[in-house]
A and B are shown apart, each in its own frame.
Chain A
Amino acid sequence: MSLHPQGVAQSLPAAAGEQAPARPRSRRWRPARIGIYAFLSTAALFFLLPLYVMIVTSLKSMDEIRGSGIFALPLAATLEPWRQAWSTVCTGAACEGLRTGFRNSVAITVPSTLLPILIGAVNGYALSFWRPRFANLLFGVLMAGAFVPVQVMIYPLVRVMALAGVFGSLPAIVLVHLVFGMPMMTLLFRNYYCSVPQELFQAARVDGAGFWRIFIRIMLPMSLPIIVVAAIIQVTGVWNDYILGLVFAGRENLPMTVQLNNVINTTTGTRLYNVNMAATILTALVPLTLYFASGRWFVRGIAAGAVKG
């Protein structure tokens, strides 16, 4: 199960290094390589430009924004817009900043990540090892669910939840995320467990372990890479969600994305570009941090899921 794609890559330059005296031209700076770097830098600049504009704008006062170009660095940098965005800006009727939205998003994201991962892992485990009757049919139906557009299901879900009396609450939005996350989570874990030798499962059965013990003591501890991948997918998905939060979360639990929209689309007074920029960056910070912190795991998890071994 140990996958070290970088190990292969490292061994190549090492082998080439031994022949270095016979090959005077450096591998690093051939024209093709310069071209690649030029292309990559341009692409990176292109995609980083909006972020740059957002950051500099969020650090300027409104007067300075009106007076200078959008690419100009701030003359008198201030964190005041960030403070406003976090704690005083109006998100509809209330003017308490985005912090309530942040709290709501955390309250939605944590259970909406843990539950789908746990249930997806159990699903994947059951489908790949216990092979219940019609397992393939079950899996097929689950996958078909992934292709039905969310919009189609919103109205029926609203009706069902209203009937059940849970509409517009935290459990409602968590349940919706759980349902919509299930195909992806199940697929991830099923594919991961399919690459685990069946013999491992059989050995545990001979040792007398049952369904839950095999899952908790043997399979779950092996699943760290895929759990990280699942967590990244689910956290970013739930955090960035707008429509489900707007419809199902209810007035008290509106997530950060919905409140951000309220901040930016406010129709009264002047548009506070600096506060808007700060608010947007604040909202995007969670998924951004997650990608930076887990990039290595992310790649490893994807690779582990793709390669059998």
Chain B
Amino acid sequence: MANLNLRKLNIILGGKNIIRDLDLQVEPGEFLVLLGPSGCGKSTLLHSIAGLVDADSGAIEIGGRDMTGADPSDRGIGMVFQSYALYPTMSVEDNMSFGLRIAGTPKDEIRRRVTHAAEMLQLDALLSRKPSQLSGGQRQRVAIGRALVRQAQVFLFDEPLSNLDAKLRAELRRELKLLHQKLGSTMIYVTHDQVEAMTLASRIVVMEKGQVQQIGTPLEVYERPANRFVAGFLGSPAMAFVDGEVDGAGRFSAGELALVPGAACCAAQVTDRAVVLGVRPEHVAIRADGALSGTVSLVEPMGNHQVVWIRCGAHTLASLVHDDGAWTPGQAVRFAVDANRVSLFDPQHGNRL
């Protein structure tokens, strides 16, 4: 278990500045998720922490020691890759013990650690198999086991579940969370899947174009997104954005859509300016006594809930409906927006007001 410090990190690959002046502190035992769309630099950042990509400037400290120029194997890290990256000609046991054998760990100790990791990951019966004889989920467990036996200070995961089917992904996600609870190790996890990020993380780092957009607990990032990018990236269906104005009394209006945002929405009182209103679907409720009116344009049944898209003037809002009410396109409805849970953004730079 160790902390990790990144200071003013810059990474340039092929003439492009992939990571710019990035600062990041990871506390010991934290499960930090780097979340962002593909090409945002999150994988590059992870690879530079692992020592597989060189930093052009800045410093990487692991467990209080400067590791900026250190070899990957000297950094006390264990890494799990998206494609599993198991050595195809070696058995499961040899795969897991490869690093220890290189380090010259005594045989008894290797055996003890491999057995321990195999038990923890339910791989005991598969130790003599080759990777090609394993299923995708088993392969990824072996890859995790390989990181475990190294007794790493920091575990790095590079989209480890992306190659698995949906059911297995959910299963392994839970296993990973249990593993983290059991080990208490520091883990850094790269994903573009917001569900993985929300469920696993103790803190989420949302990245875009090589820069950190927001760092916070899953709830903070979801409830109080720092800017429009974060707001739009998290949540499904995505947050709806409505361009409008706030008058002197603090009342927001955009055509037929009008409401008074609660005081909790913003850092300071917002008056007399153009804003972008952000509304999450779960804060739009279809109610007979709702203050707003519109027409249903589309209904998406999801099994345990349904998403009803409501057209209100020039804008379309989604509403999560948990009862089994029947809605048909074209139907006129009244609805209400929870004014205390909306977000307001600046129309120019997109930051939260």
| Chain B residues positioned under 8 Å from A63 (CB to CB) | none
Known contacts A208-B73, A208-B99, A208-B102; A203/B132 CB under 8 A:
no
A222 CB contact (under 8 Å) in B81, B89, B150 = B89
Would B77 and A209 count as touching, CB distance under 8 A?
A: no
Docked complex Cα distance between A206 and B98 (Å): 11
Per-residue interface assignment for chain B, residues 83 to 119, with 1 indicating a CB less than 8 Å from any chain A CB and 0 otherwise: 1011111000000001100110000000000000000
Would A203 and B102 count as touching, CB distance under 8 A?
A: no
Would A218 and B89 count as touching, CB distance under 8 A?
A: yes
- Pick 17 A–B contacts, CB within 8 A, sort by A: A200-B83, A200-B87, A202-B52, A203-B85, A203-B87, A205-B52, A205-B72, A206-B50, A206-B52, A206-B73, A206-B78, A206-B99, A207-B102, A207-B146, A208-B71, A209-B98, A213-B102
Docked complex Cα distance between A125 and B158 (Å): 24
For chain A, residues 194 to 227, give those with C-beta under 8 angstroms from any C-beta of chain B: 197, 199-200, 202-209, 213, 217-218, 221-222
Query: Within 8 Å of chain B (Cβ to Cβ): is A164?
Result: no
Q: How many A-B residue pairs have CB under 8 A?
A: 66
A204 to chain B, nearest CB (A): 7
Nearest-neighbor residue (CB-CB) of A220 within chain B: B89
B79 CB contact (under 8 Å) in A2, A200, A202 = A202
Docked complex Cα distance between A219 and B276 (Å): 55
Docked complex Cα distance between A272 and B51 (Å): 71
Query: Within 8 Å of chain A (Cβ to Cβ): is B214?
Result: no
B131 to chain A, nearest CB (A): 11
Nearest-neighbor residue (CB-CB) of A224 within chain B: B89
Would A207 and B82 count as touching, CB distance under 8 A?
A: no
| Chain A residues positioned under 8 Å from B132 (CB to CB) | 2
Per-residue interface assignment for chain B, residues 268 to 296, with 1 indicating a CB less than 8 Å from any chain A CB and 0 otherwise: 00000000000000000000000000000
Docked complex Cα distance between A203 and B79 (Å): 7
Docked complex Cα distance between A207 and B98 (Å): 7
For chain B, residues 123 to 143, give those with C-beta under 8 angstroms from any C-beta of chain A: 132, 143
| Chain B residues positioned under 8 Å from A202 (CB to CB) | 47, 50, 52, 72, 79, 81, 85
Known contacts A200-B87, A222-B89; A209/B81 CB under 8 A:
no
B82 CB contact (under 8 Å) in A1, A2, A199, A206 = A199
Nearest-neighbor residue (CB-CB) of B82 within chain A: A199
Known contacts A2-B132, A197-B85, A221-B89; A206/B103 CB under 8 A:
no
B83 CB contact (under 8 Å) in A2, A199, A209 = A199
Would A197 and B52 count as touching, CB distance under 8 A?
A: no
| Chain B residues positioned under 8 Å from A1 (CB to CB) | 88
Per-residue interface assignment for chain A, residues 182 to 204, with 1 indicating a CB less than 8 Å from any chain B CB and 0 otherwise: 00000000000000010110111
| Chain A residues positioned under 8 Å from B50 (CB to CB) | 202, 206
